[in-house]
Structure 1
Amino acid sequence: MTPGQNDLLCRVEGEAPMGKLMRQHWMPACMIEEVAEPDGTPLRVRLLGENIVVFRDTEGRIGALDELCPHRRASLVFGRNEECGLRCLYHGWKFDVAGNAVDMSSEPTDAKLRSTMKTKAYPVVESAGFVWVWMGDPENVIPFSPPNWSAAPAEKISIVKMHGACNWAQILEGSIDSAHSSSLHSSNMPTASEVSGSMATDSAWLRPSADKSPRIEVQKTPFGFRYVAIRKAIVDPDKQDYVRMTLFQAPYTVHIPPNDQYNLSQMLVPIDDVNTMFYWIAWHPTKGISQDAWRKFCGAEIGKDVEPITYKKVRTAENNYLQDRALMKAGDFTGIYGIPCQDMAMWESMGAIADRSEDLLGSSDKAIFTFRTQMYRAAQAVQKGEPAIGAIEPRVPLAKLKSFEGLVPKGYNWRLINVSEEEKQLAGSVSNDEEVDAMADAAS
């Protein structure tokens, strides 16, 4: 990619086409647990380079307002959240969840300004553990479509949240890169001949393959694409393959292969051009993992591994992610605790925005090829005034999207796995992506 193409893919602030694309989708502002208390502490949220204040009022309603008071531009994050509104400390102007000024104590009681004053308020929805905001055209709000983990009850949804000090696209590329898990996460995802699929323990996810060079196949879809990493099985490799299928749901969500206890989804949400909020959701309708256990497993416990409010990491580039070289000599592959921090060390080491013109890609990068070409062209389309990918009706019901992992008979058509009837009707005939295959073969 040229530097100009790279910028089009990565940058989201201001009038950037990718930011405009994102604004045609509902975006997660924060976890519900962060604003659970009526009249609780307001929360600063930054999305696409914009600062928002999120709060829950006295009656339990959620509001998402422009952080700066429209009067003299002081921050409402420091405001008093009381009596169904957020009151600016500077002059006492108070706004409800819809952005209406309900009190302007510094102005005369008969001032005309009182009846017309509003601040920017974003449409909000609470669903599946998150507060979602609409940052696009308020006159063209698309209906909210619940994510696939909404199929699980609230107590079966566990969320890791962590700040990433780099661009959203290189974090997302990590999420759709199945090949790296066989190396970077090999201590957390060890080989086990006695399992038929990914089996979760308290400290690891066992899997039935030692193959570090998976064969990647890609299928474009109306919501983005799905791809599989096909690995040689330990048991009966001439009769079966180990298949891990990942779904990219444009523009910022990835559904990665599950294990025997919980499904896994990630959201890689742009804070601005060079910062990302990483969310990792473990969920299951009946089984699952507790919130505390999930955060401990991932090395993302609040107050221990990540800071409250900002979710910035204790393990950073400045302290080499607390890498333990003695542990590496004892057999741990990375010496870095937690799958997310292992990933963060790689993503952040590329720089705030990776220089993709210097990449030397191979056949294991087919999903990366697909993401770059698909989203680059999607940004170009938005630049021309066309609708965003995934925002065009009829849309695939997002709650029905499913990833997959397991042993399958050799030669089995993976494109038929977990495909809903709606997807079949929208996609028509399904086939491998010939353009991606050609580029990957050329790179090899």
Structure 2
Amino acid sequence: MTPQQNDILARVEGSAPMGRLMRQHWMPACMSEEVAEPDCTPLRVRLLGENMVVFRDSKGRLGALDEQCPHRRASLAFGRNEECGLRCLYHGWKFDVNGNAIDMSSEPVDAKLRSTMKTKAYPVQEAGGFVWVWMGNPDQVTPFDKPNWATVPDDKISIVKMHGACNWAQVLEGSIDSAHSSSLHSSNMPTATEVSGSTATDTAWLRPSADKAPRLEVQKTSFGFRYVAIRKPIVDADATDYIRMTLYVAPYTVHIPSNDQYHLSQMLVPIDDENTMFYWVAWHPEKGISTDAWRKFCGAEIGKDVEPITFKKMRNAGNNYLQDRVAMKDGDFTGIYGIPAQDMAMWESMGTLADRGDDRLGSSDKAIFTFRTQMYRAAQAVEKGEPAIGTTEPHIPNAKLMSFEGIVPKGTDWRLLNVSDEEADIMRTVSTDVDALGDVRA
């Protein structure tokens, strides 16, 4: 990719086409637990280079306002959240969840400004353990399409949150890269002969394959794409394949293969051009894992592994991610605790905004190549005034999109796994061909 193409793919701030694409989708602003109680502390949030403040008012209603007070631009994050509004400390101007000024104590009671003053308010939804905001045209708000984990009870949803000090696209490319897990995460995902699929213990996910060079196949769809990594299983390799299917749901969601206890979804949300908020959701309608256990497993416990409020990592580039070389000599592959921190070390080492021009992609990078070409073209389309990827027909509701993992007979059509006949027909309407790089350069 040229530097110009790389910028179109990765940059989201201001009028960047990728940012405009994302503004046609609902964006996760924060976890519900961060603004759980009425009149809670207002939460400072940054998305796509825009600063906002999220709060829950006295009646439990959620609001997301421009962080800067429209009066003199002081931060509303310091404000008093009381009596159904957020009051700026500077002059006492107070705004409700819809952005209406409901008190302006520094102005005369008959001032005309009192009846007309508003601040920017983002439409808000709450679902699946998250607060979602609409950052696009307020006159073109689309219906909220809840994700698959929002279909289960809240107590069956566990969320890891971690700040990434690099661009969202390289984080997302890590999430859709199935091949790296067999190396980078090999100590957390060891081979086991006694399992028939990914099997979760308190400390690891056991796998029925030692194959580090999977064969990849991709199916492009209206929402993004699905792909499989096909590996040789340890047992009965002549008659069966070990399938791990990943879904990329544009623009920022990835459903990675489940294990026997919980499903796994990630959101790689752009804070700005050089920072990303990483969310990892473990969920299941009946089984699952507790929030405390999930954060401990991932090395993402608040106050221990990540800072409160900012969710910046205790293991970071400044301390070499606390890599333990003694543990490496004793058999730990990376010497870095926790799957997310292992990933962060790789993603952040590429630089805050990776230069893809010198990449040398191989056959295991087919999903990476598909992401780059598909989203580059999608951003170009938005720049021309066309609708964003994932917002047009044919449409499959997000709640129905599921990954797959397991051993299947050789010759099984993986495109029919975990989909209804209707969904399979919809997916067939989109070309399964991977675009040639020459077409992108043209």
Q: TM-score range by the shorter chain?
A: over 0.9
User: Could you list the per-position Cα deviations for residues 204-237 of structure 1 after superposition, in whole angstroms to 9, with x for gaps in the alignment?
Assistant: 0001000000000000011100000000110010
Is 1:286 aligned to 2:289, yes or no? no
- In 2: Cα distance, 1:241 partner to 1:424 partner: 21
- In 1: Cα distance, 2:423 partner to 2:157 partner: 25
- In 1: Cα distance, 2:355 partner to 2:150 partner: 37
The AA in structure 1 aligned to 2:59 is E
- What residue in structure 2 maps to residue 306 of structure 1? 306
- In 2: Cα distance, 1:255 partner to 1:434 partner: 20
Report the 3-state secondary structure (helix = DSSP H, G, I; strand = E; otherwise coil) of the residue aligned with 2:173: helix
Contact 1:98–1:121 under 8 Å retained in 2: yes
The AA in structure 2 aligned to 1:316 is N
The AA in structure 2 aligned to 1:209 is S
Is 1:160 aligned to 2:148, yes or no? no
Shift of 1:394: 4.4
Shift of 1:150: 1.2
- What residue in structure 2 maps to residue 82 of structure 1? 82
Shift of 1:422: 4.3
| Superposition pairs of residues 177-256 of structure 1, within 5 angstroms | 177-256=177-256
Is 1:373 aligned to 2:370, yes or no? no
- In 1: Cα distance, 2:435 partner to 2:321 partner: 38
- In 2: Cα distance, 1:60 partner to 1:431 partner: 46
Report the 3-state secondary structure (helix = DSSP H, G, I; strand = E; otherwise coil) of the residue aligned with 1:377: helix
Shift of 1:426: 2.6
- What residue in structure 1 maps to residue 329 of structure 2? 329
Contact 2:222–2:430 under 8 Å retained in 1: no
- In 2: Cα distance, 1:428 partner to 1:175 partner: 25
Is 1:263 aligned to 2:260, yes or no? no
RMSD: 1.1
Is 1:319 aligned to 2:319, yes or no? yes
User: Could you list the per-position Cα deviations for residues 252-294 of structure 1 after superposition, in whole angstroms to 9, with x for gaps in the alignment?
Assistant: 0000000000000000000000000000000000000000000
Which runs of 5 or more residues in structure 1 are unaligned? Answer: none
The AA in structure 2 aligned to 1:65 is L
- What residue in structure 1 maps to residue 397 of structure 2? 397
- What residue in structure 1 maps to residue 423 of structure 2? 423
Contact 1:217–1:432 under 8 Å retained in 2: no
- In 1: Cα distance, 2:38 partner to 2:311 partner: 22
Is 1:19 aligned to 2:24, yes or no? no
The AA in structure 2 aligned to 1:99 is G
User: Could you list the per-position Cα deviations for residues 333-354 of structure 1 after superposition, in whole angstroms to 9, with x for gaps in the alignment?
Assistant: 0000000000000000000011
- In 1: Cα distance, 2:177 partner to 2:59 partner: 44
The AA in structure 2 aligned to 1:244 is R
User: Could you list the per-position Cα deviations for residues 346-372 of structure 1 after superposition, in whole angstroms to 9, with x for gaps in the alignment?
Assistant: 000000011100101000000000000
- In 2: Cα distance, 1:255 partner to 1:103 partner: 45
- In 1: Cα distance, 2:185 partner to 2:275 partner: 23
User: Could you list the per-position Cα deviations for residues 88-110 of structure 1 after superposition, in whole angstroms to 9, with x for gaps in the alignment?
Assistant: 00000000000000000000000
- What residue in structure 2 maps to residue 47 of structure 1? 47
User: Could you list the per-position Cα deviations for residues 285-330 of structure 1 after superposition, in whole angstroms to 9, with x for gaps in the alignment?
Assistant: 0000000000000000000000000000000101000000000000
- In 1: Cα distance, 2:111 partner to 2:198 partner: 66
Contact 2:274–2:353 under 8 Å retained in 1: yes
Which runs of 5 or more residues in structure 2 are unaligned? Answer: none
Contact 1:298–1:339 under 8 Å retained in 2: yes
Report the 3-state secondary structure (helix = DSSP H, G, I; strand = E; otherwise coil) of the residue aligned with 1:435: coil
- What residue in structure 2 maps to residue 143 of structure 1? 143
